[in-house]
Structures are given as structure tokens and as C-alpha cells.
Structure 1
Amino acid sequence: MKNTSLPADQQFFADLFSGLVLNPQRLGRVWFATQPSRLPEGSLCTALPRLDVVLRGEYGNQLEKTQHRLAEGEMLFIPARAANLPISDKPVMLLSMVFAPGWLGLSFYDNRTASLLRPVRHIELSYLQRGEGEAMLTALTHLSRSAHQQDVIQPLTLSLLHLCRSVVNTRPDAQRPRSEFLFQSMCNWVQDNYAQPLTRDSVACFFNITPNHLSKLFTQHGSMSFVEYVRWVRMAKARMILQKYHLSIAEVAERCGYQDSDYFCRLFRRQFGLTPGEYSARFQRG
């Protein structure tokens, strides 16, 4: 039964996903795009993983000889930073998914009525990519090195389609605004990756937004700037490490994303009024 409370475009994609997950026998092999050493003109390459499903007709990826003719039901998974160059010289209907940390992008192509690279329908839905969705995408990326394991890959891809269907069938009024999802997903990502080198530009690139947009999101939804938030997360982690483990200050600094231990000590004292050594001494047993 259709969810009549969905907007027309969202209902369109909900119907497409229902047709796929309720008829899994129509789904075929999953192919994998790679990272070519040179990107020919027209190649599609982003920092986000994608999945293309051939609904009707033939489709292809010009960058791989074995992928020049993908038939109805076959799929092409493009890991983050991999690339594909579409071949659409024959009639084809295609469903394409882009998996961003804070949203799910869906596009429907039909080259009988428009250029394949210009979607006939397109929507973006707020979706916090954590938990099972993140695990599925990570697993598919790793399995790209073992593409012959279709008995594992195909059920995993079907599960990913089920998850997409669930997202698409969520009413807009049950979703948080995309800007709030983006802000929260960036905060969560920083908490998981605080030990890495983090800059406004690098995180904005990862989330496929501009640095200015990132700063605006922290102004709208947060109580501190992006730089302040990263420092706050790292200092909180440093305090926890100093309480629980007997490590050198240099090791603690490195684990919290700081290569310069002196700089780390200055930041820690500024925030807590104690040096890391003084703070750690409070938890040492005599």
C-alpha cells in the first residue's frame, strides 16, 4: 500500500525501491568501480560512495572493459573516490544513490526522455549515516577487492536497498531538517575521528559542502565554532586518557590529534587550569 502522505517525488522513489526489494530475483551481479590513475573527461568521481541499479535496458562503465554492458538488474557500486564513465548509447532506465554522512541522494535517469547525466527526478533526504548503513557501505568497499564473492555481496546490497527504502518511506515531517542532520553528523564524525588531522576545509570536503557552509551550520545549530568544537572534543578525550592510562604527555597529545606536545599542554592548561602532568598526578595512586 502506498504511503499517501509522501510528496510525489518521494513516493516515486518509494515505489522504485519497493519494486526492487520485493522482487530480489530480478537483481543480478554487483560490479565495482575502481580508482583509475587518470580520469578521462566526463568521468564521475566524488568523495561519497554511490550505487547505480539498471532498472531497464543496458548501461555501462567505460573505464572497465568487463563493465561495458550491464544488463537489467545488474548494479555498479562506486566506492568513495572511485570513478565511473557512463555508457548510455542504448535505452536505459537507471536508479542512482549517493550516500552522504547526513543525507541520501536519489536520482532517476531515463535517456529516452533526457540526457543520462541529467536526472529526470532527484531528491535528497535527511539520513544520519551511522550504525548499519555505515557498516554496509564499509563492507561493500572492502568487498570490492573480492568481487567474485557474489554470494556475500548480493545479499549485502539487497540489505542496503531495504535500508534506502526505509529512509524513502519516512514522512518529511518525521525527519529533522537536513541542516540539523548535517551538523549532528559532523559532530559525531569529529568525535569518532578526533585523532586525525582535522581542518575546516578537510571536513567540509568529506561532507561534500563548502567550508563557509560548515561554519554557518556550527553558528546556526551549535554553541561554539568548528575549531572550538574540535578542541573541546580533543580536550575531553585527553582528560579521559590521563585519568585511565599511564602514558607520556607526548603519547597523549598524539592520540588526541596533536603532534606538538607543547602546544597540546598550553591548550590543556588554558581549558582546565592545570597542565596534563598535574591533572594526571591527581589520579595516580601513591
Structure 2
Amino acid sequence: MPAAHAPAGPWPTWIRRLLRRGWPRRVHLALESGTPALRGGLPVHDIPRFSICLAGTGRYIVLRQQKLEIITLQRGDAVVAAPQALMEPHASALYLAMGFVFTPEMTRYLLAKKGRGGHRFLQTHHYSRVLDEDGRHFFQALQNRRGSPPDDLAARRLVELLIIKTAEMSEQPEPAVTKAGKARFTWQAACQFLQENLHHPIGRQDVSSFLHLHPNHVSRLFRDFSGRSFLNYLLLARLERARPLLKDPQLNITEIAHACGFRDVNYFIRCYRRKYGESPGKTRLSHFA
């Protein structure tokens, strides 16, 4: 029988704490996309998101006036990414951050730590409620603040309103769902994580750590809902990511391979030929012909 779930654990308390502290103190906006070559092969995400630095120093790669730029966040600062905008953590960043991602199917609550040993998700929660029309208007209003300084009061208030929205969503019980529905929802969250990290050398263990599931359970989810093994699904997703990148003449084959998570370009070429019946170079030539 379908059953309603309790609110999202400690998240309501954590989010309300941000508001009591008067955060964000400053707001950085990531609004530009640019071509794959301009981004150096880094991906953009088609969903809005924002993060708040809780401790340490957050650094992100963004585009400003079609040039790659590094922005720096101190404690209490926020960074907001519009749909299709580039916002990628910089390798030198050392921080504890709380992030919120708003997809059409779910809202993701993330507590992440980036240290010298790499990036880890300490807590994650995938909530089936989605951002309402007011929340979408807040994001649109933030996009209209293009060029505003980080201490812009209007941008700070708009992010504060988004924090209030996420707090309200987290305080509501989850809608009733069957066991099969919950499993599909978890699989969708795993697929979203893969799509956002295809440019990294990720594997099953990364997905299981992100979702706090046993690796074998991750494998079952992909087998049950995609009809493929996890590795086969991941390989296909990487190859599909490469197809549109091959249309950009400013990216060479090695850069495209790396942008899709292949560290060995020869392995990329072999897998691509096996899947599509031709080499990446031939596909590229057919686009330019």
C-alpha cells in the first residue's frame, strides 16, 4: 500500500538555521553558458540550482562576458546558477556547502564537503516536491540581476526567498508512493547524478555513496528500470554526450573524450565505433560536409 513519508530528516532545521543567521551575505550569479570549446568541454546543466558556503572557501568556475572566471565564496556567501549556465567547482576549493537543485521531477538537498582528498556528499535527500511558480519567478528575477555586485540587496533577498521555499517544501510530508514508485524515483536520482558528472571518472561506488545505498542495490536499480547493467548504461550515456560535442570544430577528439569521462582516447574511439558503426572522426566529417 502507498504510504506517506515523514519530512526530510534534519533538513528543515538546517535550512531554517541559514535564515536565522541572515544568510546569504553575498550572492554570486552564474548566468552564461557559452560553447563547449569556450567551456573547455565542461558541461552545463539545464536545471537551476544554488549553493551556500557553510565553512572554508568555495571556488567555482563560471563564465563572465564569455570568459572563464573563478569566483570565491566565503562563509555565508551563495552562488546561483541559471538553467544552461556553467558552474563547476574549482579544484582548489576547500569548503563545506549546502546545495539545492530543482529538477522537473524532484528537489535535491545536498550537504557536500570538498577537501584535499576530494569531494564527498555527507548528506543527500531527494524530495518529490518541486519548485512552484513563485520559486521559478524568483530564479527569473535573479537572472535579471545580471551584472549586479555580490552585495546586491535584491539578489540577497531573492535567494532568501528561495531558501524559505526549500524550507517549506522540506517541512511537508512526502506524498504517498508505492515501493516500486520509490525505487523508480531513486533510480531517476541516480541517472541525474550520472548526467551531471559524466565528465568525471565516476563509477558505481560513487553513485552508491551519493545515494547512501549498497552498490549491489544500485546495480539492481539500473537493471530493473533501464534493462542494462550499470556499466553499460554509463558507457552509453558517455557516448551519447559525445555526439553533440563532435559538432563543435573547436574541440579535438581528445578533448571530447575527456569531456565525456574517457581518460583513454583510443578506448573512446573503439567504444564509439562499436556503438555507432563509424569512428568519431567520420561522424565529425559528416557534420561538416
Q: State the TM-score, normalizing by the size of structure 2.
A: 0.52
Query: Taking structure 1 as reference, are residues 179 and 21 closer, same or farther at Cα in structure 2, changes over 3 Å only?
Result: farther
Q: CA deviation at 1:21?
A: 1.2
Equivalent in the alignment of 1:39? 39
Equivalent positions of 1:94-105 (< 5 A) are 94-105=97-108
Instruction: Point out where structure 2 has 5 or more consecutive residues left out of the alignment.
Output: 185-194, 196-224, 226-289
- Partners of 1:129 and 1:159 lie apart in 2 by 12
Instruction: Please give the alpha-carbon distance, in whole angstroms, between the structure 1 residues aligned to 2:117 and 2:80.
Output: 23
State the partner residue of 1:163: 165
CA contact (8 A) 1:114 1:120 kept: no
Matched, 1:72 2:75: yes
CA distance in 1, matches of 2:91, 2:12: 25
Residue matched to 1:147: 148
- Amino acid corresponding to residue 94 of structure 2 in structure 1: P
Task: Report if the CA contact (8 A) 1:54-1:73 is conserved.
Answer: yes
Residue 76 (structure 1) shift:
0.6
The answer for the alignment partner of 1:19 in structure 2 is: 17
In 1, the alpha carbon distance for the partners of 2:86 and 2:176 equals 31
Indicate the residue corresponding to 2:25 in structure 1.
Answer: 28
Native 8 Å contact 1:56 1:72 kept in 2 = yes
CA-to-partner distance for each residue in 1:211-265, whole Å, 9 max, x for gaps? xx8xxxxxxxxxxxxxxxxxxxxxxxxxxxxxxxxxxxxxxxxxxxxxxxxxxxx
Residue 165 of structure 1 deviates from its aligned partner by: 0.6
1:85-164 matched pairs, under 5 angstroms: 85-87=88-90, 89-112=92-115, 115-116=118-119, 118-143=120-145, 145-148=146-149, 150-164=152-166
Report the residue type matching 2:148 in the other structure. Answer: A
Task: Report the count of equivalent residues.
Answer: 174
- SS across alignment from 1:138: helix
Q: Which has the higher helix share?
A: 1
Asked if the contact 1:126/1:176 (under 8 Å) is kept, the reply is no
Shift of 1:131: 2.2
Inter-CA distance 62–87: structure 2 relative to 1 (3 Å threshold): same
> What is the RMSD computed on CA atoms of the aligned residues?
3.3
What residue is the counterpart of 2:264 in the other structure?
none
Larger radius of gyration: 1
2:19 is matched by which residue type in structure 1? V
- Amino acid in the other structure paired with 1:29: R
Match of 2:54 in 1: 55
Residue 69 of structure 1 and its aligned partner are, at CA, apart by 2.1
Q: What are the within-5 Å matches in structure 2 for residues 180-199 of structure 1?
A: none
Q: Give the whole-Å Cα distance in 1 for the aligned partners of 2:161 and 2:51.
A: 15
Indicate the structure whose relative CO is greater, using CA pairs within 8 Å and at least 6 residues apart.
Answer: 2
Structure 1 unpaired stretches of 5+: 183-204, 206-212, 214-286
Distance 2:124 2:78 in 1: 19
Deviations along 1:167-204, whole A, 9 cap, x unmatched?
111123x5668969x9xxxxxxxxxxxxxxxxxxxxxx
- Structure 2 distance, partners of 1:94, 1:142, is 25
SS at match of 1:62: strand
Match of 1:223 in 2: none
Letter paired with 1:102 = E
Greater share of strand = 2
Q: Is the 2:61–2:86 Cα contact (8 Å) retained in structure 1? A: no
SS of equivalent to 2:72: coil
Structure 1 stretches of 4+ with a deviation exceeding 6 A read 176-180
Q: Matched residues in 1 for 2:144 and 2:155: separation?
A: 10
Which residue does the alignment assign to 2:222?
Answer: none
Q: TM-score, normalised by structure 1?
A: 0.52
